[in-house]
A and B are shown apart, each in its own frame.
Chain A
């Protein structure tokens, strides 16, 4: 290069200047501070205000946290320890109540020797969810399943699970990991039967119950196959009727007969033993799993051209959204008892799950309707142009896009619903936030304790809700198809 200009230019630099360090104001931490915290007068004032608030909070509550007592058997003992350690007049948190009663906050009154059962149930829940939630990324799946396996199995060992069940859980978790490495769709059958399995693990009783519940839809499917040649409508009606009749009339007796022939049962646990986060998670997970499909159906029904379907769906959605959840819960716990024949034991948790589900489904339907409305009309027309029928068009073209748009709203509804599970306190169920704390306070040892349970329970709620929120963000990123 320099040769070319050797005769025409007096001086040509033939080495690069070393790059100088940027000015101190434009680099490193100072730049970050300048850009993010002190970018202008208003920004600066807000930063200082924020810092003052944080300082005030820390200064006010620091000693309370710092003086925490974890080892005591009553509030008075806590107070004595705080006075002995930190001097007269010192205050401190008495987290000993959590140490003493953590199990009730997590499991309610579930029999202590069976704590491993809910633990296993929620461990296997992750396996069942893996093909649904983490179908795209092998790495995430692997990490989550390995963590789940380690945590579940070690917790089960600590909680004294029988060896047979340990092996069972290890096998399922191992199969999940194996399928996750090869082809995660292998786990889908497990995901499908998991709801029945989960119910059986939690409530116990005979395995024949879930088996015969499963037989109902199979018979219905058989009826549908036989009749679908004659008339699709008749076949659908017959399938549903066969399933329902089997469940209502035969399943119960069949299960007890089968149990008599071949006992396959684990210790039954009644609904009144449920409480704490076990109750919240049971209601929350069931509500989430049921309200999404129900919400989709309602949203589609509301968009339908058929008058009856459309108006029924509108009435349902608007009625449920117009009524507070507490009202529905009271209906579930009180009103139904007047209507049902005496002696009918319609499980209270099941009643609450139904009410919570339809409540969340009504909101879900509107969120999804928003997604459907946001789709350009061209997408519907394209589906028609391709000759797809209604269900194929919805399944292949409309819903994937509409649901993707609705993800933030759907997850918000989930989070809201999960937090709303604490409202079951008003129908006498032991939610972790209020009822369980009141029950703990009703023992003279812990009467007068106030903030500590709230902090503990709030922390767990935050973890779960924050997890859901982060997952929804991950999902949004993964499904991003537009060209922003």
Chain B
């Protein structure tokens, strides 16, 4: 037992020494040394991140990870997906277990400041909505006074719901649930009148019902949920890489650069913005420690923002989300990539 005390002290000393070192070494260097990007993703969310039957990850958030890996390491396959739960996600990021967190996390003030994260942008503008059975006769969330509502505990949706009902002077009975699957089950079993979560989740849930036509998603969106990738505070260069990889995907859609025509545009594009984006003129990549072709590889990994959207959650998929707020600013949406110059 004396020995265990000694070992314990030795271990504690090592640990303390480790804490001091934890801040050193840039993330970019670490990723390059490891030759692998550790990307924190959801343990499973339809359309955004899910392992398929052979264990390959696909989804909207996953595609961003692959684009980032392609930009930094030159290979979209060099990603280690670290599944994180709602409780472990931010700690996994700040402790260095993951380099970037692309896990449909809402960008909020306190997360950005108090939790010492840097949200590098928004890859999906979501918002909280309600789903009810159509035979309930409700057509607006304002008519939900006195309803029982299934709500996931420990999420921003729970707080939004309380705020919304208080603001509209309505009462509700919450039915607390732990996961989406449980929420669907409770809702189907009639344990609650309405089910509330992010609108993208509601659409996917409704699409999976045996009788989707007997359920309606109410028009009110009661909260802003800008979902985006996040990195740690304190490594601005890595934050820049994460931010501009996302911007490159968005800008590529704006300028009509797709994974199909990119090779042709590299050779022939006359648009100076496209030339800078694709690295044929100027050396934009060098400014953040990458080569000239970083954005080209990011776009080739899974296509531009629009292609990624269409392939994972767009209207052609069973989830069938419309672009809505997530359209380019030229199309009436909110996507607006700053200029590449």
Binding site for B on A (CB under 8 A): 75-76, 79, 100-101, 104, 108-109, 112, 237, 240, 270, 272-273, 301, 308-309, 312-313, 330, 333-334, 337-344, 425-428, 430, 434-435, 437-444, 447-448, 450
Contact = CB atoms under 8 A, between A and B. Distances in A.
A337 B16 CA distance: 12
B54 A112 contact: yes
A248 to B, nearest CB: 10
B92 A435 contact: no
B3 A439 contact: no
Contact of A430 (B21, B30, B83, B208): B83
B85 A439 contact: no
B146 interface: no
Interface in B283-341: 317-319
Nearest to B2: A308
A109 B51 contact: yes
B181 interface: yes
Nearest to A434: B179
21 contacts: A76-B210, A337-B91, A338-B19, A339-B15, A340-B18, A341-B14, A341-B17, A342-B18, A343-B25, A343-B30, A344-B18, A427-B85, A428-B85, A438-B181, A439-B44, A442-B50, A443-B52, A444-B47, A447-B205, A448-B210, A450-B181
A273 to B, nearest CB: 7
A420 to B, nearest CB: 17
Nearest to A244: B7
Contacts of B179: 434, 438
B46 interface: yes
Nearest to B44: A442
A444 B51 contact: no
B15 A444 contact: no
B108 interface: no
6 pairs of A and B residues whose beta carbons are closest in the complex: A442-B44, A109-B55, A442-B50, A337-B95, A339-B15, A341-B18
A444 B207 contact: yes
A341 B84 CA distance: 21
Interface string B85-118: 1011001100111000000000000000000000
A427 B87 CA distance: 8
B266 to A, nearest CB: 35
Give the size range of B's interface with the partner. Answer: 35 or more
A49 B30 CA distance: 67
A437 B91 contact: no
A109 B91 CA distance: 24
B43 to A, nearest CB: 6
A338 B319 CA distance: 39
B184 A450 contact: yes
Nearest to B27: A342
A237 B3 contact: yes
B53 interface: yes
A106 B21 CA distance: 40
B319 A428 contact: no
B53 A104 contact: yes
A297 to B, nearest CB: 10
Contact of A272 (B80, B185, B207): B80
Contacts of B221: none
Interface in B199-221: 204-205, 207-210
Contact of A447 (B17, B87, B96, B204): B204
Contacts of A439: 43-44, 50-51, 83
Nearest to B56: A109
B49 A442 contact: yes
A440 B17 CA distance: 41
For A109, A427, A443, which residue has the most chain B Cβ atoms within 10 angstroms?
A: A443
B270 interface: no
- Interface of B (DSSP majority class): mixed
B233 to A, nearest CB: 15
Interface string B5-45: 10000000011111101101100001000000000001111
Given A312-B1, A438-B43, A442-B51, 12 more contacts: A108-B55, A240-B3, A312-B4, A334-B95, A340-B15, A430-B43, A430-B83, A442-B50, A444-B204, A444-B317, A448-B205, A450-B181
B43 A428 contact: yes
A30 B3 CA distance: 68
B88 A435 contact: no
Contacts of A333: 88
Contacts of B317: 444
A272 B209 CA distance: 32
B82 interface: yes
Contact of A443 (B43, B46, B82, B88): B46
A361 to B, nearest CB: 13
Nearest to B81: A272
Nearest to B95: A337
Contact of B181 (A108, A272, A308, A441): A441
A330 B319 CA distance: 34
B74 to A, nearest CB: 21
B49 A342 contact: no
A430 B55 CA distance: 12
Interface in B137-192: 179-181, 184-185
A105 to B, nearest CB: 11
A435 B83 contact: yes
A342 B91 CA distance: 14
Nearest to A237: B3
Given A341-B18, A439-B51, A444 B46 contact: yes
Contacts of A240: 3
A440 B54 CA distance: 11
A427 B51 contact: no
B83 A428 contact: yes
Nearest to B94: A338
Given A272-B82, A338-B22, A428-B84, A104 B43 contact: no
Contacts of B208: 75, 444, 447-448
A313 B180 CA distance: 43
A438 B81 CA distance: 16
Contacts of B210: 76, 79, 448
A234 to B, nearest CB: 13
A450 B185 contact: yes
A427 B91 CA distance: 11
Nearest to B45: A442
Contact of B96 (A309, A342, A426): A342
A272 B41 CA distance: 13
A443 B204 CA distance: 10
B18 A339 contact: yes
Contacts of A270: 80
Contacts of A443: 46, 50, 52-53
Contacts of B184: 448, 450
Contacts of A440: 44
A338 B95 CA distance: 5
Given A438-B43, A441-B181, A309 B82 contact: no
A341 B22 contact: yes
Contacts of B84: 428
A339 to B, nearest CB: 4
A342 B82 contact: no
A104 B53 CA distance: 7
Nearest to B10: A244
B115 to A, nearest CB: 13
For B16, B55, B97, B319, which residue has the most chain A Cβ atoms within 10 angstroms?
A: B55
Contacts of A272: 80-82
B44 A309 contact: no
A341 to B, nearest CB: 4
